[in-house]
Amino acid sequence: MKHLIKIFKALSDANRLRILKMLEVRPLCVCEIREVLNLANSTVSKHLSVLREADLITDQKDARWVNYRLNTGMRNGYVDVLLPLISKWLPDDTTVLIDRQKVIHVDRNRICGI
């Protein structure tokens, strides 16, 4: 039961739901998520930590960045059922639609000045 409670607590925050919806588009690093959400790096990192602890996302080091993606590889009964449901949620939500457009155009190289 503890793991299920952790998952629902992770889903109970609007910014964390927005992050999950953004990760449906493509893997993102902290600076790209920060750019879309207009939050501090520390706040984004905390949200990502909560999502990772709930097994909803995974991270992978790629050179100088850590890429976050939806956890589709883990065989966790709750996550396996919930992620496909979440992908169907909020299809017409204005915030989610705007976030998706920003994700398409956000460029980590421009943001980080590389």
Domain ranges (residues) in the chain: 2-111
HSE value, Cβ hemisphere, 13 Å, CA-based, for 78:
14
- Collapsed DSSP state (helix, strand, coil) of residue 23: helix
Distance between CA atoms of residues 101 and 99, nearest Å:
5
pLDDT of residue 73: 78
Q: Is the pLDDT of residue 7 over 90?
A: yes
- Identify the band that residue 72 occupies on the pLDDT scale cut at 50, 70 and 90: confident
Rounded CA-CA distance 16/98 in Å is 16
Q: Are 47 and 19 in contact (CB under 8 A)?
A: yes
**Which class would CATH give 2-111?**
mainly alpha
Query: What is the rounded average pLDDT of the residues 70-85?
Result: 86
Q: What is the mean pLDDT of the chain?
A: 93
pLDDT of residue 8: 96
Cross-strand bridge partners of residue 58:
69
The confidence score (pLDDT) of residue 74 equals 67
Structure tokens at 90: 């909020």
Q: Is the pLDDT of residue 75 over 70?
A: no
pTM score, two decimals? 0.94
